[in-house]
Structure 1
Amino acid sequence: MRRKLFVGTSIVITLIMIAGIFLSLPYYVSKPGMAKELAPIIQVENGEVGKGSFMLTTVRMGRANIYSYIEAKLFNYVELYPVEEILHETETQDEYNARQLHMMAGSKLNAIEVAYKKAGYPVKYEYKGVYVVQIVPDMPAEGKLLPGDRIIKVDEEKFASSETFIEYVGRKKSGDQLKLTIMRNEKTKTVIVPVKPFKEDPNKVGIGITLVDDKEVIVSPKVMVKTDEIGGPSAGLMFSLEIYDQLMDEDFTKGYKIAGTGTIDSEGTVGPIGGIDQKIVAADKAGAEIFFAPNEKGSKDSNYNLAVKTAREINSKIKIVPVDVIDDAINYLKKLQMK
């Protein structure tokens, strides 16, 4: 009897433990990720790699289960976020993943443009279409298009950008049909999608998608940026610095391990990101000596100020450097003494 009771109890406990792993809670949990060297990820044709290294920093983000929820309550720099703070209204996990990957793609394009222009090289773009990032519920695209689809033609005509696509659709009348040529899983197919007024703006028609440009940057010498499944736009600044460093004869790393974070636009402006404290922890564990942090024009609640606070809390010796534009980082590196 005791043996049966013991076996039965063990089975129940095991099932509870398994349920704790697979049962999702209405939260996302984030924690320090990694600091990864960029030289193996970014390769400029005939580019020079410095004695030191530039590193991107990441945050690990995922749906919370019972164990990660408890971890967030017990440990510093592990944060919980309600689902609605991460996912847009009605957005699915697949749509969120697609949005993150396309933001990374846009970040890479901006980084290449900024770095090449700073190094004195011309930059051109070739537009290939638009990527579908999200589907609006109860709109015509639902059930016909999927996040990640690439629209390459509308009514048999190519278009130059997402703006021209939106303008073309906006000129249609309710009930008109669009013939969309799309790429999905490397296969071309055609779908017919009617246009319909938006509930929030009945005077405006559309098919119910959010989208981003699919374009290729054309530069010489060529550059390859391999990001695999890394998502989000926060590596933009560090991408730019690594590309710029490989394009120039001078070694801007000066033998140091240099980490950092921040979005970058096509003009070289550095924007704030989330999880800066967790990225400082990741950079410190990786042995980074310098960290570039978005300054947000000296805002009291800037990424830079939080980074300084976090470095102090974990007794890190990382030098935190504030940047508003890429020139702030480049000028700092120019003055840095060789290690």
Structure 2
Amino acid sequence: MRRKIFLGSSIVIALMMIAGVFFSLPYYVSKPGIAKELAPIIQVEDGIEGKGSFMLTTVRMGRANIYSYVEAKLFDYVELYPLEAILHETETQDEYNARQLHMMAGSKLNAIEVAYKKAGYQVDYEYKGVYVVQVVPDMPAEGKLVPGDRIIEVDGQKFASSENFIEFVGKKNAGDQVVLTIKREDKTKIVEVTVQPFKEDPKKIGIGISLVDDKEIIVDPKVTVKTDEIGGPSAGLMFSLEIYDQLMEEDYTKGYKIAGTGTIDSKGGVGPIGGIDQKIVAADKAGAEIFFAPNEKGSKDSNYNLAVKTAREIDSKMKIVPVDFIDDAINYLQKLPMK
């Protein structure tokens, strides 16, 4: 009898433990990720590698289960966010993942453009179409297009930008059909979609998608940036610095381990990101000596100020450097003595 009770209790406990792993709560949880050297990820043809290293920093983000929820309540630098703080309205997990990957793609393009222009090289673009990032529920594209589809033609015509695509479709009448040529998983498909007004703005006509440009940057010497499944735009600054360093004869790393974060726009402006405190923890664990943080023009609640506060809390010896533009980081590195 006791054996049966023990066996039954063990089964119940095992099922509860399994449920704790697989039962999702209405939260996302984020925690410190890793600091990863960029030299193996970014390769400029005939590029020159420095004695030190530039590193991107990451945050681990995922849907919360019971265990990660408890972890967030017990430990520092593990944060909980309600679903609506992460996902756009009506956005699915697949659409969120696609959005993050396309933001990373845009970040890479900006980083390459900024670094090559800063180093005095020519930069050109080849436009390929648009990527579908989100499909609006109850609009004609639902069930016909999915996040990640690349639209390369509409009604047999190529277009020069996402703005041209929106303008072309927007001139149609409600009930008209458009014929889209798309690529999905390397296969070309023809999809017919009816145009209709948007519920929130009946004067606006469309098929119900959010999209971003798909374009290829053309530079010489060539550069490859392999990011695999890393998403989001926050590595832009560090991408730019690694590319610039490989293009230039001068060694900008000076033998140091240099981490950092921040978006980069096509003009070299550095923007704020989320999870700066968790990235400080990740960089410190990886042994980084210098950390570039978005300064946000000196605002009181800037990424830089939070980074300094976190470094102090964890007793890190990293030098936290504020940056508003890539020039701020380059000027700092130029003055840095060789290690």
TM-score category of the 2 structures, normalised to the smaller one: over 0.9
Q: Tell me the alpha carbon deviations over residues 90-112 of structure 1, each in whole angstroms, 9 at most, x when there is no partner.
A: 10000000000000000000000
The CA distance in 1 between the partners of 2:172 and 2:292, in whole Å, is 47
What residue is the counterpart of 1:236 in the other structure? 236
What residue is the counterpart of 2:220 in the other structure? 220
Comparing 192-201 with 240-249, greater Cα deviation is found at 192-201
What residue is the counterpart of 2:70 in the other structure? 70
What residue is the counterpart of 1:312 in the other structure? 312
Corresponding letter in the other structure for 1:242: E
Pairwise CA distance, 1:279: 0.0
After superposition, residues 246-265 of structure 1 pair within 5 angstroms as: 246-265=246-265
What residue is the counterpart of 2:25 in the other structure? 25
What residue is the counterpart of 1:245 in the other structure? 245
Pairwise CA distance, 1:202: 0.7
What residue is the counterpart of 2:51 in the other structure? 51
What residue is the counterpart of 1:278 in the other structure? 278
Q: TM-score, normalised by structure 2?
A: 1.00
The CA distance in 2 between the partners of 1:236 and 1:86, in whole Å, is 20
Q: Tell me the alpha carbon deviations over residues 164-210 of structure 1, each in whole angstroms, 9 at most, x when there is no partner.
A: 10111111111111000000010000000011001111111000000
The CA distance in 1 between the partners of 2:115 and 2:161, in whole Å, is 23
The CA distance in 2 between the partners of 1:90 and 1:171, in whole Å, is 26
The CA distance in 2 between the partners of 1:73 and 1:192, in whole Å, is 49
Corresponding letter in the other structure for 2:195: V
Q: Tell me the alpha carbon deviations over residues 127-186 of structure 1, each in whole angstroms, 9 at most, x when there is no partner.
A: 000000000111100000000000000000001111110111111111111000000010
The CA distance in 1 between the partners of 2:10 and 2:202, in whole Å, is 60
Pairwise CA distance, 1:292: 0.2
Corresponding letter in the other structure for 1:301: D
- 1:40 matches 2:40: yes
- 1:139 matches 2:139: yes
SS state of the match for residue 100, structure 1? helix
The CA distance in 2 between the partners of 1:301 and 1:172, in whole Å, is 46
Aligned length: 339
The CA distance in 2 between the partners of 1:203 and 1:286, in whole Å, is 53
What residue is the counterpart of 1:187 in the other structure? 187
The CA distance in 2 between the partners of 1:203 and 1:10, in whole Å, is 62
The CA distance in 2 between the partners of 1:266 and 1:187, in whole Å, is 32
User: Which blocks of at least 5 consecutive residues in structure 2 are unaligned?
Assistant: none
The CA distance in 1 between the partners of 2:104 and 2:284, in whole Å, is 24
Pairwise CA distance, 1:301: 0.2
The CA distance in 1 between the partners of 2:86 and 2:172, in whole Å, is 34
The CA distance in 2 between the partners of 1:201 and 1:40, in whole Å, is 47
The CA distance in 2 between the partners of 1:56 and 1:309, in whole Å, is 20
Comparing 93-102 with 163-172, greater Cα deviation is found at 163-172
Corresponding letter in the other structure for 1:207: I
Corresponding letter in the other structure for 2:284: D
SS state of the match for residue 189, structure 2? strand
Corresponding letter in the other structure for 1:275: G
Corresponding letter in the other structure for 1:254: K
- 1:287 matches 2:287: yes
The CA distance in 2 between the partners of 1:55 and 1:165, in whole Å, is 37
Q: Tell me the alpha carbon deviations over residues 66-102 of structure 1, each in whole angstroms, 9 at most, x when there is no partner.
A: 0000000000000000011000011000000000000
User: Which blocks of at least 5 consecutive residues in structure 1 are unaligned?
Assistant: none
What residue is the counterpart of 2:91 in the other structure? 91
What residue is the counterpart of 1:160 in the other structure? 160
SS state of the match for residue 9, structure 1? helix
Corresponding letter in the other structure for 1:41: I
Corresponding letter in the other structure for 1:164: N
What residue is the counterpart of 2:325 in the other structure? 325
What residue is the counterpart of 1:127 in the other structure? 127
Pairwise CA distance, 1:228: 0.1
Q: Tell me the alpha carbon deviations over residues 277-301 of structure 1, each in whole angstroms, 9 at most, x when there is no partner.
A: 0000000000000000000000000
The CA distance in 1 between the partners of 2:236 and 2:144, in whole Å, is 33
Alignment RMSD (CA, Å):
0.3
Corresponding letter in the other structure for 1:94: D
Identity %: 85
SS state of the match for residue 95, structure 1? helix
SS state of the match for residue 267, structure 2? coil
Corresponding letter in the other structure for 2:326: I
Pairwise CA distance, 1:254: 0.1
